Amino acid sequence: MNVHAPLALSLLNASASAFAADVAEALSQHPKKLSPKYFYDEAGSELFEQITRLPEYYPTRTELGILRSRGKDINAIIPKNAALIEFGAGATTKVRLLLDECDVGAYAPVDISGDFLQAQAAELRKDFPGLKVLPVNADFTAPFDLPGDIRMMPKVGFFPGSTLGNFEPHEACAFLRSARAILGKDALMLIGIDLEKDEKLLHAAYNDAAGVTGKFNMNVLVRINRELGGDFDLSAFTHRAIYNKERHRIEMHLIARKPQTVHVLGRSFAFRAGESIHTESSYKYSIERFAALARGSGWEPKASWTDADKHFSVHALMAVE
């Protein structure tokens, strides 16, 4: 019997009811706001992989470029035989660059999607036979236990892709504090942060010509209809992504084209024409503003690297006592 089944099942039920509760709350409040974590069902994860290959969406390839070109510098500050703990480990493209370049003794990917995690771990074990691969099936935004095998090893956290940008600044601070507590006092954290830049570039990255980001955004309505018995008419909503300069963030919204009533979970929710569901914020930082956030969250900036155009950044943070 697959030992992970009971845990995976309880996590699955917990996330299904959390999804139902969060959607009911989101559609009852004004303005309507839903967590971007609900984008990532199988279809959503696939759509995001497509987004990372779009000409307009620069973050992924820019970060890969930094990890590739600065691998030696990063390796120079990673303790020998360290344990690398990746928060929200999706595809392993980025970590493989670190595993190729750095002398890592163990890798612990942490993610809520158990099956995907196990599949990725099995692939890694084949490609890195000397590496201990210890997947952790958990919600990385909440406290979790590290695998026993790495307890005595130096700890290096890895949080690429500017996923921290989805958190409100106070949530980003809380996440960094929680990671600090999980990783311990001498830990290092490697984190990818998207930088403020020309608004046209940002607008294009979230409103791609092929419309993939629009599909990715709409996918949460598909999911509500499938999993929560919703009757959202997708053609009655439009994708909108704008850059809110004051808040330094991209905002993704689903806009109601006309007045309508939607039924979900046996309840009805009214929409005015033009009313939005705010489905994602993606905060953009400056090097200085991120360093200040890190200092206020139990970490001391040790080094940072950017691409030549300063579009994206990778930071190394040291845990502060």
Cβ nearer to ligand AVJ, comparing 206 with 285: 206
C-alpha distances in angstroms, 103 versus 9, 156, 165, 196, 304?
36, 12, 29, 33, 20
Out of 120, 163, 219, 276, name the contact with ligand AVJ by CB under 6 A.
163
Within 8 A by CB and 6+ apart from 114, the residues are 4, 7, 8, 11, 137
Size of the residue set binding ligand AVJ (CB under 6 A): 11
* Angle, CA 287 vertex, CA 285 and CA 290 arms, to 5°: 60
C-alpha distances in angstroms, 314 versus 61, 84, 194, 195?
13, 16, 9, 10
Q: Would you count residue 165 as binding ligand AVJ (CB under 6 A)?
A: yes
Out of 154, 157, 161, 214, name the contact with ligand AVJ by CB under 6 A.
161
Rounded to the nearest whole angstrom, what is the least distance from the CB of residue 200 to ligand AVJ in the complex?
16
Cβ nearer to ligand AVJ, comparing 44 with 135: 44
Within 8 A by CB and 6+ apart from 161, the residues are 59, 60, 63, 90, 94, 192
Q: Would you count residue 62 as binding ligand AVJ (CB under 6 A)?
A: no
Question: What string marks each residue from 204 to 243 as x (binds ligand AVJ by CB under 6 A) or -?
Answer: --x------x------------------------------
Q: For residues 220 and 224, what is the distance between their CA atoms, to the nearest angstrom?
A: 6
Binding segment toward ligand AVJ, per CB under 6 A, in 4-12, 158-166, 229-237, 258-266: 158-166
Binding segment toward ligand AVJ, per CB under 6 A, in 13-21, 79-87, 156-164, 180-188: 156-164
Question: What string marks each residue from 172 to 211 as x (binds ligand AVJ by CB under 6 A) or -?
Answer: ----------------------------------x-----
Edge-to-edge, what's the strand order for the sheet holding 276-283? 32-33, 276-283, 249-256, 237-244
Out of 63, 86, 111, 280, name the contact with ligand AVJ by CB under 6 A.
280
Neighbours of 93 (CB within 10 A): 14
CB 312 within 8 Å of CB 202: no
Q: Would you count residue 44 as binding ligand AVJ (CB under 6 A)?
A: no
Binding segment toward ligand AVJ, per CB under 6 A, in 66-74, 106-114, 147-155, 159-167: 159-167
The pair of structure tokens assigned to 76 is: 């120079």
Cβ nearer to ligand AVJ, comparing 162 with 178: 162
Rounded to the nearest whole angstrom, what is the least distance from the CB of residue 59 to ligand AVJ in the complex?
6
Q: Is the four-CA dihedral 306, 247, 243, 198 of positive or negative sign? A: negative
One-letter amino acid at 98 equals L
Out of 92, 113, 137, 282, name the contact with ligand AVJ by CB under 6 A.
282
Residues that bind ligand AVJ (CB under 6 A): 51, 59, 161-163, 165-166, 206, 213, 280, 282
